[in-house]
Structure 1
C-alpha cells in the first residue's frame, strides 16, 4: 500500500511542473527575464561593479519597453513607480560620491519593485518582514530606555528600510492601505521633533508594529499560489481514496473469514 501511495505522489509531482512549464506564455518568460536582470544588477552593485550594472540597466530598459503594458494589465501607477525606481537605480550606479550602502538601498528598491510587478505570488519584499519588525522593536526599546541618540539612529534605519520597500508596496497594496502606513510614519516623524509624552510615542510604535505585522500576514495569505492548494487537495484526495479502498478490502476480507469460521 505504501508503495502505491508513493507512486501516485511521484507521478503528480512529476507531471505538475511539466504542465506548468508547457503552459508558460511568452509574456511570463519576459517577466521572469526582467526579474532575473534586476537581480543581476543588484548583485553587481553589491560587488561595486557599477559600469557593468549600468550596461545591464540599459539592457533592462530596452527589454522593459518591449512589453505591451496595456495587454499585460499594468496600471499607469505601477508603471510610474517602476520607472521612478529605475531612474533612482541609474543615479545610484552613475553617482560619483554616493556611499555604497546608499547605492545598494536604491537598487534594492528597484529590484523589489520589478519583482512586485512581475511576481504573481509571494513578492520578494515579504522577506523584509524580520528586518522591519526588528527595527520597530529596537526603536521602542531605545525610546523606553531613554536612549535618545540610539532611538534617532534606529529610527533613521527604519526609514531607510521603509523607503527601500515603498515602491513595491505602492504596486502591491491598495491605495488606502499604503496611505494608512504613510500617515503613521509621518506622524511618528512629527513627534520626533516635538516634545511628546513618552507613553504616546511608545503607544504609536506599538500600533505600527501591529499594523505592519497584519500587513505582512495579509499579503502572505493573499499571495498564496492556488496551484499549490490544487496539488495538496489532489494528493490528499487520492491518498484518502486509496486508504478508504484498502480499508474496505480489509473489512471484506475480515467479514469473509468470519463467514468461513461460521
Structure 2
C-alpha cells in the first residue's frame, strides 16, 4: 500500500502543480481566466450524471439499499478515472469527491436521516450534472430561489423583524451550500472563494445577537449583484463585485493552499474508498 499511496500522491501533486501554474499564467506569461467553457463534457461525465440522478431518485423514494448500490458504482467509476487528463481543477475534483464521501456516510448511518440525505444526494447530482452539461446545468434552477430569499430578507429589514431576516438569510445560505460543489466544477477557484467569503460574512452577521440592518442589507445587495454574472457571465464580473482589496500576494497564497488541500482531500478520499472496499470484501 505504501507504494500505491506514493504513486497516487505524485500523480495528484503533478496534476495540482500543472493546474496552479496554468491558473496563475506561469506558462503563458499572463493571467488566465477560467470560464465555464473550460469544462468539456464527455460520455463518462454524462454517465456519472445519470448515475447521480438515479441515486437522488432512489433516495427520494426511500430505497436506501438501491441508492447505496448505485452510489457505490458511481464512486467506484469516479475513483478509477484518470482525472489528470480532465479539464477539472483540483478544487473541482475535491468538490466531487467530498460529495461522494458525505453521501456514502449518510447512506451508511445506522439510522438514516432522510432530510440530510436528500440534501447531500442533491449536491452530488448537481455537481456531476454541472460536469456533464456546464452550459445548461440544473444548479441554474436556484436563481429564482436566491432572488426570493433576497426579497424576504429586505422585507424583514424594512418591517424590523430580525427573526424573519435570520430565517430567510439562513435559507439563502442553505441554497448556496447546495450549489457550491457545482460551482467548483464550472468556475475558477478564485471566483468561488469570493462567493464563499461573502456567504461567510453574511452568516456571521446573522449570528450576531443584534442585527446590523445596514450591514446585512449591504451583503445581500452584493450577492444580488453577483447572481447574474455568477450564473451566466464572465469570471471578471464576479471578481469585480467580490473584490476585497487584498494585497496581490494573498490570492496566490490562497490558491496554493487550496491546491494542497485539494490534493490531500482527494488522496484521503481514495484511501477511504480503498478501506471501504477492503471492509466489504472481508465482510
Please say if 1:77 is aligned against 2:91.
yes
| Structure 1 Cα separation of the partners of residues 135 and 173 of structure 2 | 26
How does the TM-score come out when normalised to structure 1? 0.67
Structure 1 residues 50-96: Cα deviation after superposition (integer angstroms, max 9, x where no partner): 11100001111222234322233333322221111101111222224
* CA deviation profile, 1:4-46 (whole Å, cap 9, x unmatched): xxxxxxxxxxxxxxxxxxxxxxx83222211101000001111
Kindly tell me: are residues 77 and 217 of structure 1, through their superposed partners in 2, closer, same or farther at Cα, counting changes over 3 Å? closer
Aligned to 2:218: 203
Structure 1 segments, 4+ long, off by >3 Å, are: 96-99, 193-197
Q: How many residues align?
A: 194
Instruction: Give unpaired runs (5+ residues) of structure 2.
Output: 1-40, 235-283
CA distance in 2, matches of 1:98, 1:154: 27
Report what 2:237 is aligned to.
none
SS at match of 1:74: coil
CA distance in 1, matches of 2:192, 2:134: 19
Partner of 2:50: 36
Return 161-170 or 173-182, whichever deviates more: 173-182
Aligned: 1:50 with 2:69? no
The structure with more radius of gyration: 1
Distance 2:86 2:53 in 1: 22
Quote the residue 2:117 is aligned against: 103
Structure 2 residue 204 is the aligned partner of structure 1 residue 193: no
- SS for the counterpart of 1:122 is coil
Q: CA–CA distance in 2 between the matches of 1:120 and 1:141?
A: 34
SS of the residue corresponding to residue 102 of structure 2 reads: helix
Distance, in Å, in 2 between the alignment partners of 1:65 and 1:179 is 26
What residue in structure 2 maps to residue 143 of structure 1?
157
Distance in 2 of aligned mates of 1:105 and 1:50: 14
- 2:227 maps to 212
Q: Distance in 2 between matches of 1:121 and 1:43?
A: 23
Question: Structure 1, unaligned stretches of length 5 or more?
Answer: 1-26, 220-262
SS of 2:88's partner is coil
Which residue does 2:240 correspond to in 1? none
In 2 relative to 1, CA 204–117 (structure 1 residues): closer, same or farther, beyond 3 Å? same
Instruction: State the TM-score, normalized to the length of structure 2.
Output: 0.62
Given that 1:78 and 1:117 are in contact with CA atoms closer than 8 Å, whether structure 2 keeps it comes out as: no
Aligned to 2:24: none
**Residue 105 (structure 2) pairs with residue 87 (structure 1):** no
Partner secondary structure for residue 121 of structure 1: coil
